[in-house]
A and B are shown apart, each in its own frame.
Chain A
Amino acid sequence: MVMMMEGGSVGAGKRKRNMGKKKAKKSKNKKLKMLEGKGKKFRVSKKMRNMFEKRARDYNSDDDEEDEKENTAEKVAPGDTWMGGGGDGDNSSEESDGSEEEEGEIQPGIMKFTEGVRAFRLAFKNIIKRNVADDSLGPVLSGHKQLVAKKLAEEEAERKVKGEAKKEKHLVAEKGHLRPANYLDSNEKFLIGIATKGVVKLFNAVNKAQKAQKGLDPSRSKDAKVIRKRRKEAFFSELGKTSLPARDSSSKGNTSSDPRNDEGPAWAPLRDNYMLTNPKLKDWDKLADQAIADDVGRMSEDSGSDGD
């Protein structure tokens, strides 16, 4: 199929294309439209032929043969390209069928072009029709469609696996991490109670000890001795006191405090074990059953070293 576009027949193939080119080529397009619409050339060429014949007669009114010849020649001359049919227009009415073939022979590009155009039009229509019924993946070639589906499935699987792995990791990381309750648990209350008791004991001991030396100035050596004495006394009395409440609570038979009372007051320095660490303090054992503070031990060392 030779689709040669010769000068004038630019839009020859399609009606659509010709719509836009009216102004430029009025006369030609008229002819072309008529050509396309009918697909027959002899009508157009007939009119044109009559016109030209008139002109020819006016111009050369001598010969009939020559007229005919001239007619044909003239017809051929102006409508070179698209007057392929016109050239044979003389014989068109009689040789219409044949002329088409002849026209095809004479000007093969044009004839084939229009036919080719028709064929192309049909083919294109078919393709368009077919693609309307495609699915969601869009106009995809069948082989590619499967590929795309596979890829999507793979991605899904991957994501799932990753999600699970992440969850497991998170679980392991959070192991042991507890969120505390909003309210105070009974166990928590118990623990706070223990801590409070310890703090109270400490504060009372501190108060006592510091009261003893309230009025005295530590820098004065004379007073320093008095301070030391008072400290010791205050402390012993305090320790004597602290042992009592512990014993009392033990007598209550409170199970929770039993393990506590085995070793005495809650505050660490007031417990038995302190004594064991420092051999010098062993004598204190005889004075009070219960604990002796580390500080007291140190104090006594100081006093011992200073030489009472």
Chain B
Amino acid sequence: MARFNNKQRKKKVFVKPIVKKQQKKQPNVDHITGNKIPKSFVFSRGKLPGPLRQLQMDLRKLMLPYTALKLKEKRRNNLKDFLNVAGPMGVTHFLILSKTETSPFLRVSKTPQGPTLTFKIYGYSLAVDIAQSQLRPRCPQDLFKNSPLIVLSGFAAGDEHLKLTTTMFKNIFPDIDINTVKLSSCQRIVLLNYNKDTKLIDFRHYSIRLQPVGVSRRIRKFVQNHQVPDLRNLQDVSDFVTKAGYGSESEADEEAATVTLISDLSRVNRASTKSAVKLQEIGPRMTLQLIKIEGGLCSGEVMFSEYGNGGNKEKPGSRDGNEREDSENDNKMEDSDEDNEAEDNEEDTEESEEDNEED
């Protein structure tokens, strides 16, 4: 009945929680730092429309390699099912996407009893959208082999809930030991920027690229691309090498962003030479607002709520009686009256249906 295969490190199929065979196990404990490696599940509650399903896939890719890329969920799966599987697999965090009438929501929670942060997604862009908007989208093969770095900014050491947010996000990604880490393995970075005025958190995902600095553009391109340059108009090779090309706008920024490499990263980025750090955006882009913090896993005491509303109601689409979500309630405060009534009616009917079902 239940099959649970752990075929490869990155691909896990989930039907019901029975552990069958584990051929190649992902390390649970980081052999360097001695800490437990945090692993995550990214899934959705309720039926998601098209773009949101894409967003879910993007988030899964973001969390690689310590996540289940091909996690399969069924409608009848409850949160309990996921919890049951999370235990033996060593999964520490859940990222749950859901959608109501007004907007999608993202919940970040720590298993098994950890706190749950609920974010309202004001706007999101998919990875494909971003790739389309760029002139030269870049996604090398081994970009997702290592987990990303995380940068949190703007979370002023102030409110409790912000602190909890920062700790939560820090713990989602595995730590790095700066003494032994290889710079070549740090290829992605996740940025969370908090804007005090609007209370919005910007979520960005970049890929890191090192470019040797101090070398003229032409030579660099020539070396990198192996394209034979056009020497028709030149008298001498020295012209090609020493010609002062125009400086691009970004070169000024590079000055501040140079690092000195300790080892050879690649043919062009050699040790003891200066290289510039260049970031290019990949992956999804989100604008979040922290709505609620609950003490339990999608349940429990509400420790912080943006709108001061403490009621608990059933979320449409979920069948687990233990699950409660305040999002509809919160929406009441923000949205127009039209939405209000529609949602209330919806909620009420759904609630009664749920009760009937349970009975």
A residues lining the B interface (CB < 8 Å): 172-182, 187-188, 191-200, 202-207, 209-211, 213-214, 231, 259-260, 262-263, 266-269, 271-273, 277, 293-295, 298-299
Stretch at the interface among B38-46, B79-87, B186-194: B186-194
> Quick one: given A179-B133, A200-B277, A268-B152, are A173 and B262 in contact (CB under 8 Å)?
no
A177 touches B166 (CB 8 A): no
Chain B neighbourhood of A299, CB < 8 A: 179
What is the total number of residues of chain B having a CB less than 8 Å from a CB of chain A? Answer: 64
Cross-chain contact A263 with B206 (CB below 8 angstroms): no
Candidates A206, A260, A269, A277; contact of B183 at CB < 8 Å: A206
Look across to chain B and name the residue whose beta carbon is closest to the beta carbon of A277.
B167
Given contacts A175-B103, A191-B202, A206-B178, contact A298 B208 (CB under 8 A): no
Interface residues of B (CB under 8 A from A): 33-35, 49-52, 101-104, 121-126, 129-130, 133, 149-157, 163, 166-167, 170, 175-179, 181, 183, 186, 189, 191, 193-194, 196, 202, 204, 206, 208, 253, 256-263, 277-279, 281, 285
In the complex, what distance in Å separates the CA atom of A87 from the CA atom of B130? 106
Among A188, A213, A259, the most chain B Cβ lie within 10 Å of the Cβ of: A259
Chain B contact residues, majority secondary structure:
mixed
Cβ of A179 and Cβ of B125 under 8 Å apart?
Answer: yes
Chain A residues closer than 8 Å to B263, beta-carbon distance: 210
Listed by A's residue number, 25 A-B pairs whose Cβ atoms lie within 8 Å are A175-B103, A175-B104, A176-B122, A178-B125, A179-B125, A179-B129, A182-B133, A187-B202, A196-B257, A196-B278, A198-B191, A199-B186, A199-B279, A200-B277, A202-B178, A203-B259, A209-B178, A259-B154, A260-B153, A262-B157, A263-B156, A266-B152, A268-B166, A277-B167, A299-B179
**Smallest Cβ-Cβ distance to A276: which chain B residue:** B163
CB-contact partner of A195 in B101, B186, B204, under 8 A: B204
Task: Decide yes or no: A204 and B259 within 8 Å by CB, A191-B202, A195-B191, A263-B156 being known contacts.
Answer: yes
Question: Top 6 nearest A-B pairs by Cβ distance?
Answer: A173-B49, A198-B151, A203-B259, A195-B191, A178-B123, A177-B51
> Nearest chain B CB to A284's CB is how many angstroms away?
16
Complex formed: what's the CA distance from A273 to B51 in Å? 36
- CB atoms of B257 and A200 under 8 A apart: yes
A192 touches B279 (CB 8 A): yes
Closest to A196 in B: B257
Contacts of B175 in A (CB 8 A): 269, 294-295
- In the complex, besides A196-B278, A266-B152, 14 extra interface pairs with C-beta distance below 8 angstroms are A188-B281, A191-B193, A192-B204, A195-B279, A207-B260, A207-B261, A210-B179, A214-B262, A259-B154, A260-B154, A268-B150, A273-B166, A295-B177, A299-B179
Cα-based distance from A279 to B193 in the complex (angstroms): 27
Q: Are A198 and B189 in contact (CB under 8 A)?
A: yes
- A210 contact from B104, B196, B262, Cβ within 8 A: B262
**A205, closest chain B residue (CB):** B178
Give the interface centre of A178, A266, A267 by most chain B CB atoms within 10 Å: A178
Among candidates B129, B157, B256, residue contacting A180 with C-beta atoms closer than 8 Å: B129
Of A177, A194, A231, A268, which is within 8 A of B179 by CB?
A231
A52 → B minimal CB distance (Å)? 98
Is the Cβ of A173 less than 8 Å from the Cβ of B103? no
Which B residues touch A204, using CB under 8 A? 259-260
Q: A181-B133, A206-B183, A207-B259 are in contact. Are A195 and B176 (CB under 8 A)?
A: no
Taking a contact as CB atoms under 8 Å apart, the answer to whether B102 and A199 are in contact is no
User: How distant is the Cα of A294 from the Cα of B35 in the complex, in angstroms?
Assistant: 11
A268 near B124: Cβ-Cβ < 8 Å: no
> Given A195-B279, A273-B167 in contact, is the A202-B149 Cβ separation under 8 Å?
yes
Q: Is B176 within 8 A of A295, CB to CB?
A: yes
Nearest chain A CB to B333 CB, angstrom units: 18
Alpha-carbon gap, A205 to B253, bound state (A): 20
**Inter-subunit contact A211/B262 (CB<8 Å):** yes
**Which of B50, B163, B204 sits near A191, CB closer than 8 Å?**
B204
- Alpha-carbon distance between A295 and B119 when the two chains are bound, in angstroms: 29
Contact B34 A298 (CB under 8 A): yes
Cα(A271)–Cα(B121), bound, Å: 27
* Closest partner residue, chain B, to A199 (CB atom): B277
In the assembled complex, the Cα of A204 lies from the Cα of B210 at a distance in Å of 13
Instruction: Point out the residues of chain A lying under 8 angstroms from B277, CB to CB.
Output: 196, 199-200, 203
Q: Is B183 within 8 A of A203, CB to CB?
A: yes
Q: Which chain B residue lies CB-closest to A263?
A: B157
Smallest CB–CB gap between A111 and chain B, Å? 83
Task: Report chain B residues within 8 Å CB of A188.
Answer: 281
A294 to B170 CA separation, bound complex (whole angstroms): 11
- Bound form: Cα–Cα A294–B177 in Å: 9
Tell me which of A177, A198, A203, A293 contacts B126 (CB under 8 A): A177
Bound Cα distance from A178 to B194, whole angstroms: 20
**Contact yes or no, B183 A268, CB < 8 A:** no
CB atoms of B51 and A173 under 8 A apart: yes
- Of B102, B175, B193, B278, the most chain A CB neighbours within 10 A belong to B193
